[in-house]
């Protein structure tokens, strides 16, 4: 089976292009293929299926075999792969995911801008335990004897954004897995630890559901920007600095979130 290895700011994926891997149990295969010592090595596997014209189905399996609803970095990678190898005459794509439809556009500068849709704040939409119609923008979460104030939001997948004084030295591997599996999140959760450097710049580190620490998270960057903008901490266009690079996120409350950043091929192969 042919595969393409791509990364978005170090968040890396094994892509299975349209026409490859039909009938394969990718949930079972993912832990082995994603293993960085005995496999190809990646944060997840992404399967693309041609729906006609500029539309494709995109399914994402985390490195532990669980299926994710959405992945922002994979979306940018998918757009560039599809434009280069399958639709060279098209720059705008429609990707159908379990978390909804996203619309990436390959820009002239080789970056990709993605219309990620509107954020969702209701508990039932994220999901967060409790009344499904209630807002989840203010949560108090306990982990390892500490209490954290979190902003919960869905970008097609669940996120909890926590603003901290020092993201660089925050004990990510101690607090992240506890909050990922917190009882407040029936489908688990991605957890972002964000530090405001100024009103246009955010330093963020992430613990991803089903993956652990990753170098970047596109939906997490969107969630972080939304949290900062909705709470008045930042302007409506911000630069999010991740371990693997930077993303530009713009959002006007009540509108859609737009994410712009790089995506690069690492190598291709057969397995």
pLDDT digits (tens, 9 = 90+) for 136-158: 999 999 999 999 999 999 999 99
Q: How far is CA 36 from each of CA 33, 40, 97, rounded to the nearest angstrom?
A: 8, 6, 26
Range of the domain at 25: 2-117+262-270
Kindly state whether residues 84 and 133 are assigned to the same domain. no
Kindly state whether residues 169 and 215 are assigned to the same domain. yes
Neighbours of 233 (CB within 10 A): 15
Question: Which pLDDT score is estimated for 219?
Answer: 98
Kindly state whether residues 136 and 235 are assigned to the same domain. yes
Render pLDDT for 167-219 as a digit per residue (tens, 0 to 9). Answer: 999 999 999 999 999 999 999 999 999 999 999 999 999 999 999 999 999 99
Render pLDDT for 54-111 as a digit per residue (tens, 0 to 9). Answer: 999 999 999 999 999 999 999 999 999 999 999 999 999 999 999 999 999 999 999 9
Annotated catalytic residues are 71, 217
Kindly state whether residues 202 and 95 are assigned to the same domain. no
What whole-number distance in Å separates Cα of residue 76 and Cα of residue 218? 9
Kindly state whether residues 146 and 72 are assigned to the same domain. no
Average pLDDT over residues 225-247: 98
Neighbours of 232 (CB within 10 A): 7
- pTM of structure: 0.95
Q: Please write down the HEC assignment for all residues of 159-222.
A: EEEEECCCCCCCCHHHHHHHHHCCCCCCCCCEEEEEEEEECCEEEEEEEECCCEEECCCHHHHH
Kindly state whether residues 201 and 241 are assigned to the same domain. yes
Kindly state whether residues 127 and 187 are assigned to the same domain. yes
Kindly state whether residues 127 and 235 are assigned to the same domain. yes
**Secondary structure (DSSP) of 83-113:** HHHT-TT--B-EEEETTEEEEEEE-TTS-EE
Contact status, residue 96 vs residue 107, Cβ threshold 8 Å: no
Three-point CA angle 260, 95, 111, nearest 5°: 25
Question: Which pLDDT score is estimated for 75?
Answer: 98
CA 15 to chain centre: 16
CATH number at residue 67: 3.10.310.10
Kindly state whether residues 181 and 87 are assigned to the same domain. no
The count of domains in the chain is: 2
Kindly state whether residues 250 and 132 are assigned to the same domain. yes
Kindly state whether residues 165 and 51 are assigned to the same domain. no
């Amino acid at each position: 089976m042919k595969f393409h290895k791509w990364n978005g700011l170090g968040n890396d994926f094994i892509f299975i292009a349209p026409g490859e891997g039909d009938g394969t149990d990718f949930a079972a295969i993912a832990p082995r293929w994603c293993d960085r010592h005995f496999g190809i090595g990646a944060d997840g596997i992404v399967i693309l299926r041609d729906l006609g014209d500029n539309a494709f189905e995109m399914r994402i399996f985390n490195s532990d075999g669980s299926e994710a609803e959405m992945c922002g970095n994979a979306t940018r990678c998918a757009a560039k792969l599809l434009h280069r190898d399958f639709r060279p005459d098209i720059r705008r794509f429609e990707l159908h995911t379990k978390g909804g439809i996203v619309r990436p556009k390959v820009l002239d500068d080789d970056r990709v801008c993605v219309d990620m849709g509107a954020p969702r704040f209701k508990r039932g939409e994220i999901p967060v335990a409790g009344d499904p119609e209630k807002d989840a923008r203010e949560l108090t979460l306990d982990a390892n004897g500490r209490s954290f104030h979190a902003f919960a939001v869905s970008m097609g997948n669940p996120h909890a954004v926590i603003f901290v004084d020092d993201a660089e030295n925050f004990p990510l591997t101690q607090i992240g897995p506890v909050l990922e599996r917190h009882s407040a999140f029936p489908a688990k959760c991605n957890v972002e630890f964000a530090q405001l450097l100024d009103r246009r710049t955010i330093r963020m580190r992430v613990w991803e559901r089903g993956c652990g620490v990753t170098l970047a998270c596109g939906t997490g960057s969107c969630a972080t920007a939304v949290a900062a903008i909705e709470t008045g901490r930042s302007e409506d266009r911000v630069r999010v600095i991740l371990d693997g690079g930077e993303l530009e996120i713009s959002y006007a409350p009540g509108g859609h979130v737009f994410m712009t950043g790089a995506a690069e091929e690492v190598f291709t192969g057969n397995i």
